[in-house]
Structure 1
Amino acid sequence: MIVVGGGVAGLTTAVLLAESGRRVRVWAREPAERTTSAVAGGLWWPYRIEPEALVGAWALESLTVYEELARRPQETGVRLVDGVQAGIRLDGLGDWAGRVPGLREVPDGLAARLPVIDMPVYLAWLRERLAKAGGVVEAREVTDLASVPARVVVNCTGIGARSLVPDPEVRPVRGQLVVVENPGITTWFGCVDHSSASTYFIPQPYGLLLGGTAQEDDWSLEPEPATAAAIVARCAEIRPEIAGARVLTHRVGLRPARSAVRLERQPLPDGRVLVHNYGHGGAGITVAWGCAREAAGLAFPAA
């Protein structure tokens, strides 16, 4: 079987399938370090993803996995870090929130100790785990899903699904980030909504990651200097020491937004099977393991 797409959704799905005994190849147009997954902030939190009724279960299943992986942070890149989501209360979230260990109301919002994932390290670890299970990653560009030569094909192409499927419901939500030298901040902070700008910072081993933006239907991958300056200024309003931090790099990624995640089994006319697993918006990492397990079940339903 072949999984198309080498980001976090594709690699996670491939790992589960390979560890269940399937012979798995991943066809990826770009290496994992050049995917949207690689530039993500890495904080576990359901953001810009629907439908909420299903997202909660996918996210909680993934949370359990990340909590286990956080026992080996040097190996996996996953750590548990304290922080606050400002401006929200428990009654503004779905039922899933009541099942997040330690999530509690504080004067500013909600506090919790949540997984923070160093994505370059984590993606490399996923590839290694896949290789140990016998899976392989191949650099291949797919232009027609129906022509992929496997009895079972899993489509995890993220933003690429817009043209590949084609699915015009998939739209980019541009996210720009700034990485600065960490002035000593050890907790994460988020104040996000569905406007085009938000404020968050996440401590990572390589620096302090500052965000962000949510610019709908914007395909530009070039960092905008004015946007970067505004991001730093917003974060510095929360922690003034950020204002003087040296900028290390800029990042831009395109979240694959959709009205709802597409997790669906599609029989092909010749008897083969195509499984879709895309449209995860701003929460691909957050729901990766839950969605991958469902996709694997769709690919090979239990008798």
Structure 2
Amino acid sequence: MDGDGIGDGIGDGTSDVIVVGAGVVGLTSAIRLAERGLRVLVWSRDPAAGTTSAVAGALWWPYRIEPEAEVGDWSLASLRVYEELAADPTATGVRLVPGVHADTVLAGLGDWARRVPGLRQLPPDEVPGPYEAGLAARLPLVDMPVHLEWLRARAAELGVRVERRAVGGFAEAAAHARTVVDCAGLGARELAGDGALRAVRGQLVLVENPGVDSWFTAADKESSETTYFFPQPGRLILGGTAEEGVEDLVPDPATAARIVARCSEVRPEIAGARVLGHRVGLRPARAGGVRNERDPAPLSGGGMLVHNYGHGGAGVTVAWGCADRVAELVTGVRS
């Protein structure tokens, strides 16, 4: 095994659990399992930089995710972790940054919102841009390339190995470990045979930051176009789109121009910012919400299969809460 916890071969039969997928959902699940004393191996078809997680704008907020009854607790559990990680933003990539959710009212949110420290309704004259309502908060904003590296390093400290390997089926993983955890994201359509999974295309524009130090979002659940900007080290991320069923990974210039125009309505200085690049990712959304459960059918040899996928655009927001649930399902012990 290399010093950074990354291996090149197949599992050697000494793992208790194989986690399929090395995005934020897979790595947090692996960490929680390893913290319970299990020997964990992660199989990933893509490098961390090639996962959907790496493209995410990554503001903590339960955005377009179900089931509502569980999302609040998962989100708040993750919020507590990010608040701790924000003490060392250079290493973890997590910062607490102020901002505004426009077109949002506190009364329209679940009980979880009342447990978010500092979340408050703004008077109309304090809401930026052409919006009449908004919430202000200081929330975790995650620089995903840095954070994924931190997750990999934390996993390695716990003895987790990460191997680049495309998985043809869960039986393949079951030959190397008694328990398999499915964190394959959109890949679970084929691996788990789940027709409820669908891609939701998100396009971003990266620009030089003209001095913006707060985040902003305005997301209409009924529209495929959203408006947001997130200040990250060395860049400002502009968004976005939420195009259901679209799987084209090529950035569209017309879409990019509309993204810049919408963000410029809120902060005019964005209009003249130099474009650094474009990003497209496919969010793994699922009709019926996140699947976080033990599969009723045992694997070959009697092993256990646990699913943890379908997080849509809120994988970062619920990652640690869902990972806690995975650890409970695998070990039978609540944290």
In which range does the TM-score fall when normalised by the shorter chain?
Answer: over 0.9
Aligned counterpart for 1:123 among listed residues 139, 148, 152? 148
CA distance in 1, matches of 2:180, 2:74: 21
- Farther-moved stretch of structure 1 (242-251 vs 265-274): 265-274
Question: What is the root-mean-square deviation in Å for CA atoms of aligned residues?
Answer: 1.0
Task: Give yes or no for the alignment of 1:276 onto 2:307.
Answer: yes
CA distance in 2, matches of 1:127, 1:200: 28
Task: State the partner residue of 1:23.
Answer: 39
CA distance in 2, matches of 1:90, 1:145: 43
Aligned counterpart for 1:215 among listed residues 227, 243, 249? 243
Instruction: List per-residue Cα deviations over 1:38-90 (Å, max 9, x = no partner).
Output: 00001000011101111000000000000000000011000000000001111
CA distance in 1, matches of 2:67, 2:33: 25
Instruction: List per-residue Cα deviations over 1:113-163 (Å, max 9, x = no partner).
Output: 000000000000000000010001000100111221210000000011111
> Match of 1:210, as an amino acid?
L
Task: Give yes or no for the alignment of 1:178 onto 2:205.
Answer: yes
> Match of 1:246, as an amino acid?
R
Task: State the partner residue of 2:284.
Answer: 256
Aligned counterpart for 1:295 among listed residues 305, 326, 334? 326
Task: State the partner residue of 1:164.
Answer: 191
> Match of 1:13, as an amino acid?
S
- Aligned residue for 1:287, secondary structure, equals helix
CA distance in 1, matches of 2:65, 2:240: 17
Map 1:57-68; keep pairs closer than 5 Å.
57-68=73-84
Q: Shift of the alpha carbon at 1:166?
A: 1.2
Task: State the partner residue of 1:88.
Answer: 104
8 Å CA contact 2:291–2:308 kept in 1: the answer is yes
Map 1:44-83; keep pairs closer than 5 Å.
44-83=60-99
> Match of 2:311, as an amino acid?
H
Task: Give yes or no for the alignment of 1:132 onto 2:157.
Answer: yes
8 Å CA contact 2:201–2:282 kept in 1: the answer is yes
TM (norm. structure 2) is 0.89
Q: Shift of the alpha carbon at 1:33?
A: 0.9
Task: State the partner residue of 2:294.
Answer: 265
Provide the aligned length of Structure 1 versus Structure 2.
Answer: 303
Instruction: List per-residue Cα deviations over 1:92-118 (Å, max 9, x = no partner).
Output: 111100000000000231000000000
Instruction: List per-residue Cα deviations over 1:268-291 (Å, max 9, x = no partner).
Output: 353100000000011000000000
CA distance in 1, matches of 2:166, 2:108: 42
TM (norm. structure 1) is 0.98
Q: Shift of the alpha carbon at 1:183?
A: 0.1
- Aligned residue for 2:316, secondary structure, equals coil
Instruction: List per-residue Cα deviations over 1:197-217 (Å, max 9, x = no partner).
Output: 010000000200000000000
Ranges of 4+ aligned residues in structure 1 off by more than 6 Å:
none
CA distance in 1, matches of 2:252, 2:207: 16
- Aligned residue for 1:283, secondary structure, equals helix
Task: State the partner residue of 2:11.
Answer: none
CA distance in 2, matches of 1:70, 1:9: 19
- Aligned residue for 2:312, secondary structure, equals coil
> Match of 1:279, as an amino acid?
G
CA distance in 1, matches of 2:35, 2:301: 27
> Match of 1:10, as an amino acid?
G
Q: Shift of the alpha carbon at 1:302?
A: 2.4
Task: State the partner residue of 1:106.
Answer: 122
- Aligned residue for 1:282, secondary structure, equals helix
Task: Give yes or no for the alignment of 1:240 onto 2:240.
Answer: no
CA distance in 1, matches of 2:101, 2:290: 24
Task: State the partner residue of 2:28.
Answer: 12
Structure 2 stretches lacking a partner, 5+ long: 1-16, 128-133
CA distance in 2, matches of 1:268, 1:21: 22
8 Å CA contact 2:171–2:300 kept in 1: the answer is no
> Match of 2:106, as an amino acid?
L
CA distance in 2, matches of 1:49, 1:143: 28
Identity of aligned residues (%): 65
- Aligned residue for 1:177, secondary structure, equals strand
- Aligned residue for 1:22, secondary structure, equals coil
Structure 1 stretches lacking a partner, 5+ long: none
- Aligned residue for 2:308, secondary structure, equals strand
Task: Give yes or no for the alignment of 1:231 onto 2:262.
Answer: no
Q: Shift of the alpha carbon at 1:164?
A: 1.4
CA distance in 2, matches of 1:70, 1:201: 20
Task: State the partner residue of 2:10.
Answer: none
